Chain A
Amino acid sequence: MKQGFIHKCSIASQLLISCLQLSTDLAADSNFRNIPAAQLQQSYTWYDGDIKREVWVNPQLIAEFNPTISQKNQISAAVTGAQVVSAKMGPVRFWQVNDTINAKTAISSISKRMNSNQISAVLHDGASTLSAMRAIPGNIIIYLDPGWDQATATQWLAQKNLQVVSQRQFMPNVFVIKSIPGLESLLMANKLYESGEVVAAFPNWWKELVTK
């Protein structure tokens, strides 16, 4: 069973034709994750609370969130040779760019063309394309000092020019902050965490998950 299809083809259906048929439909992308691992050279740090974690950029994959037909046409027009290479995993459709174009360059080209930015780099939890994938659909989550009162928290957010999307129920001073999809959100979260002014700051990760 191919990794990219695990979400659809859990162990529940290993012998089912419905699952096999899905694989057939997507025969073209059977190797979309098998980019030689040596090419996964660029990594980023992110902060899972106070634990530092590392993720590796896939140089040939792009994640498109909430795909539409018009968006598909725009991406195809922006990046020569870009191909959809997987079934949708949750809200994400994956594109592979050809060897001569780096995913970062492709994202930059797409962003210039598209009004609505729904594109993210694809990252892996390990330095292998077979490791779990992540992407950033936009927004970061920050945990401020739970001892702050609401006014202090609000004032701090305003000072930093952070736009609040929502405030977490149940947890004092945890906010979802507006940010664009992709690595910019990761860098923004890191900057906030490294400032020492927040308890936690991390992107609103989309993460590869499977049914069991």
Chain B
Amino acid sequence: MLQSKQSWRYTTFYLLILMSVFSCSKTNESSPIPEQPRPEQPRFISATGVDGYVDLNWSTVQYAHSYNIYFSTIQNTPLSESKLLANKQPPYTHTGLINNTTYYYLIAAVNTTGESVSSEEISATPTSIVGTNPLFIYQWNLENTAQVAGAIRGEDINLAPLITSCNTEDNCRGEGILVAIVDTGLEISHEDLFSNVAADMSINYLDSSYDPTPSASSEDPHGTAVAGIVAARDQNSVGLRGVAPRASLVGYNFLQVGDMTTAFDALTHDSDGDQSPDAGISVNSWGPLDNGELHAAEIDIVSALKVGVEKGRNGLGTVYVWAAGNGAKGASFNIDQSATGECNRSVDNSNYDGFANDPRVMAIGAVTEKGLKASYSECGANLWISAPAGEFCNSSGYYTITSTDLSGDAGINTDQLSNSSEYTNTNYTKCFNGTSAATPTVAGVAALMLQQSTHNLSWRDIRFILANTARINDPGPQAGWTQNGAGISVNHKYGFGVVDSLAAVAMAKDPNYLVLDPEVQFDSPLYAVNLSIPDNNSVGVEDVQTIANSSITKIEYVEITLTAAHAYFADLEVILTHTYLNDATTVSSESRLAETHLMQCEREISNCSAFSYNNWRFGSSRHLGEPADGTWMLSVRDKKANLTGQFDSWKIKFYGS
């Protein structure tokens, strides 16, 4: 099968070469090229509305090189005010459309001389088809009926009531919300995705085209699998359904390039130059190595996120969802078999990842079909919420998350794979997992919230609602749930709990919901400490500071910047404690910012000094709803023997209102 596919590719390659040779010889023979007449007006146009897309066709006209398609949802819109799909050929399928909305089209032929008179206007209205999604029964993350061995019924995102209440012709599936998959690529023609792909809005940074489908040489399925979780099409009689199965998708294959310039664009891409990034929601299931080292987000990444939350959605802010990380057990490194993945026996912590702990993102953890922390999912005070992702696929029939895979024999589920537990249809996989799988789940819920709410929800509102509606999972006494000073339940493993789509959408739609007041930020001065940290000592150094007159009565996020030069920073435990008076009652809450942990370079211990806390920025979501005023204590403890250091300085910054 693979051999056959490769030979087809080579055939195509040779054909292209022949064509280009032919083209070259033609050019050499004719000089100069006479100016062509302007092409004629395109005629015989047809437009047929299908489920989420319109099939367009027209007769080709003389002298045309290509055709510009102008479209609008308003009849008789002038060309200058219509949206343009440039350089097309008939037939053309215009995807990413909203059912029951009429689209009006004008088509003009184009050549080097210019553009023809545009065609007569034609319209079409996409409408729903009624089909099932055959793989839905395996999507325990959406509706857990204990279909996986050992699963606990109901350990899902509570989507079933929303599915039931959304009638076939209703727009209640994320319509009109643009979700960007910032990843390795996106197979835009996948049978279960194409109708949701926004036409000509994706980016392939390798060739500047609109098609980020992974190349034959990379065949990286990751972005395509992420996209399916968000918005695989529903009712189309194939595959699965996404959480928001009619949201619009764009793919930015940033990870195929990986430089700062591309990262900035992928996080803020503005295709129409309206000074507002296109994406309503940006899905980022990527990050630095999960090896227990400190990985700062560069100034350029931070700048991009600032742009997104300030200018995205015309000022309401792009919603950034980010994978918390898979390094609890050291991920691929296996540096220490004693790393159990429990928070105090982990290699990596989400707070060592400067992307996932940025105040403008939601860091998403992963849970299993039992509602427990996935062994790989990183703990962290910065975690916002969690979502199902499962553990690991195995050949005895246990499977993780069902999603779209690269079509045919490429990707995760290949026909080379002698894995009887995989789907026979290799366009899909049941083996996608990691916080990569949890992250798009939350993105899908955010799309449902944005689409169904009548409020102008900012990115902060989305976070606030998700936190306040998350479900407490793993409720046992040992699970580590505590209530913060504002009475909100929070957990070092799960953030505010597992995303509850029904509750989140209900709050977003609630006419009594009051959108958050404008954001206030408050920066403390730098607190110099300059004290040696006692070695192998559980008390450490504590520094207490008082915050007053901050004007923040409800914290949304706290940022702590620490400098502590130490020969082996992973020895250090860092705890932030907030104490304040609430109606004459003393209230206290805590953020465990860093654990004494293992890391990749432990076996080269003398070379780990590079990772001292040098202006390291921690994040904490755990003080949500508390006032910023009060006393804040930072404790730095060296809980391992031998290597030493000192607590130099720290500062604290609050985001809230």
- B479 contacts partner chain A, Cβ-Cβ < 8 Å: no
- Asked whether A48 lies within 8 Å of B256 as measured between CB atoms, the reply is no
- A72 contacts partner chain B, Cβ-Cβ < 8 Å: no
> What 4 pairs between A and B have smallest CB-CB spacing?
A1-B332, A212-B323, A49-B299, A90-B258
- A157 contacts partner chain B, Cβ-Cβ < 8 Å: no
What 0/1 pattern do residues 288 to 320 of B give for CB contact below 8 A with A?
Answer: 111101011011100100010001000000000
- B514 contacts partner chain A, Cβ-Cβ < 8 Å: no
Q: In the complex, which residues 142-189 of chain A have their Cβ closer than 8 Å to any Cβ of chain B?
A: 143, 166, 168-171, 174, 176
Interface size class of A (residues with CB under 8 A): 35 or more
Q: How far is the CA of A169 from the CA of B267 in the complex (A)?
A: 12
Q: How far is the CA of A78 from the CA of B331 in the complex (A)?
A: 38
The 15 listed contacts between A and B (C-beta, < 8 Å) are A9-B332, A12-B431, A13-B412, A16-B393, A126-B607, A131-B601, A141-B260, A170-B311, A174-B303, A202-B300, A206-B257, A209-B286, A210-B290, A211-B222, A211-B436
Most chain B C-beta atoms within 10 Å of own C-beta, residue among A1, A90, A126, A211: A211
With contacts A17-B419, A210-B286 known, is A127 near B257, CB below 8 A?
Answer: no
Q: In the complex, which residues 1-40 of chain A have their Cβ closer than 8 Å to any Cβ of chain B?
A: 1-3, 5-18, 21, 37-38, 40
| A156 smallest CB distance to B (angstroms) | 20
| B268 smallest CB distance to A (angstroms) | 6
- B349 contacts partner chain A, Cβ-Cβ < 8 Å: no
Kindly identify which residue among B220, B258, B259 contacts A8, using a CB–CB cutoff of 8 Å.
Answer: B220
Q: In the complex, which residues 113-133 of chain A have their Cβ closer than 8 Å to any Cβ of chain B?
A: 125-128, 130-132
Interface residues of A (CB under 8 A from B): 1-3, 5-18, 21, 37-38, 40, 48-49, 51, 53-54, 56, 88-92, 125-128, 130-132, 137, 139, 141, 143, 166, 168-171, 174, 176, 200, 202-212
- Asked whether B285 lies within 8 Å of A212 as measured between CB atoms, the reply is yes
Q: Which residues of A contact B257 (CB under 8 A)?
A: 90-91, 206
- Asked whether A10 lies within 8 Å of B601 as measured between CB atoms, the reply is no
Q: How far is the CA of A16 from the CA of B431 in the complex (A)?
A: 8
Q: How far is the CA of A200 from the CA of B299 in the complex (A)?
A: 9
| B469 smallest CB distance to A (angstroms) | 24
- Asked whether B433 lies within 8 Å of A141 as measured between CB atoms, the reply is no
| A83 smallest CB distance to B (angstroms) | 20
Q: How far is the CA of A12 from the CA of B332 in the complex (A)?
A: 11
- Asked whether A128 lies within 8 Å of B332 as measured between CB atoms, the reply is no
Kindly identify which residue among B218, B289, B417, B437 contacts A16, using a CB–CB cutoff of 8 Å.
Answer: B417
Q: Which residues of B contact A11 (CB under 8 A)?
A: 326, 331-332, 376, 433-434, 436
With contacts A16-B417, A205-B260 known, is A128 near B607, CB below 8 A?
Answer: yes
Q: How far is the CA of A5 from the CA of B220 in the complex (A)?
A: 12
- B147 contacts partner chain A, Cβ-Cβ < 8 Å: no
- B210 contacts partner chain A, Cβ-Cβ < 8 Å: no
Which of B66-74, B455-463, B608-616 is the contact stretch? B608-616
Q: Which residues of A contact B268 (CB under 8 A)?
A: 169-170
- B435 contacts partner chain A, Cβ-Cβ < 8 Å: yes
| A174 smallest CB distance to B (angstroms) | 8
- Asked whether A127 lies within 8 Å of B607 as measured between CB atoms, the reply is yes
